[in-house]
Amino acid sequence: MNVHAGINWKELGHVGLYTVPMAALILREDATHVRAWINGAQHSGAPPIIHRQLPLINGQTVLGFLDLIEARFIKHFRDLGLSPQSIRKFAEKLRARHRTDHPFATNKVFRTDGKTIFMEIVETDEEKKILNLLNDNFEMGDIIAASLFDSILYADDLAFRWHPSPSHPHVVLDPKFAFGRPVVEGAWVPTDTLDAAYSAEGNEDAVADDFEIDKSLVAEAVAYEQSLKVEARIENTVGCSTVRLT
């Protein structure tokens, strides 16, 4: 469904709004992968892994904040060796079990060994069990390293804020601010706005004065945006090389 007129932009302020290229940049992932996760794989006809929050807007695929969080976990699982087909199967199973459209955006602790996905179940304060989602059997001992949950904040079991980069601890994504774009925590100014101001001013002190924020937040916002630009240049270089080789 393609929607433009009649969009409730105020409601979108609580959902978040990301184009596929924007989401791919934040996730540091190939945009074709993100598009396949939200739209389905065109080459194979495989259905989407993510149950999207938003319809097409002005002909463009867009993601909401919960879609973005799910894409983050899908990327993590893929990076550790799970296939999109396996991830899709686990997502469908979790949706049915927990009656939620976005199981990977809930406050459930997921782990993987590269072959299957495990869910941590807390029985008591002292006892935790590890459920193998492939066969619904409980496993003994720890499964792989700690989860990804330390950087995400949850309310009512759903993600509502994400710190996307450990190197930039004050950079957060929260759909209540700037449609979910990366902002500096506390000041809530988008990092790309501060980076653009710094490019124009050439001086962190001047930008800090303009926005009435601490100079360190300006420096962190600029550093974060520069890290995204470096990632984008690497991705473009790899993409160009691939085209030339084929």
For the residues of 120-134, what is the DSSP string, one character each? EEESSSS-EEEEETT
Report how far apart, in Å, the C-alpha atoms of 13 and of each of 7, 10, 177 are. 11, 5, 7
Structure tokens at 64: 């909401």
Burial readout 195-231 (b: 16 or more C-beta within 10 A, e: otherwise) = bebbeeeeebeebbeebebeeebbbbbbebbeebeeb
Residue stretches of the chain with pLDDT short of 70: 1-10, 122-128, 140-149, 233-246
* Alpha-carbon gap, residue 88 to 50, rounded angstroms: 8
Helix axes 20-27, 65-79, angle to 10 degrees: 50
Report how far apart, in Å, the C-alpha atoms of 167 and of each of 79, 121, 158, 194, 221 are. 20, 30, 24, 17, 11
Count CB atoms within 10 A of the CB of residue 45.
7
Burial class of residue 98, CB neighbours in 10 A (0-12, 13-18, 19+): middle
The reported pTM is: 0.83
H helices present in 7-145, as ranges: 9-12, 20-27, 31-39, 65-79, 84-98
**Contacts of 215 by beta carbon, 8 Å cutoff, 6+ apart:** 204, 205, 208
SS3 helix, strand, coil % of the chain, rounded to 5? 45, 20, 35
In contact, 176 and 155? CB cutoff 8 Å: no
Looking at residue 43, the DSSP 8-state letter turns out to be: T
Backbone phi, then psi, for 138, in 5-degree steps?
-85, 140
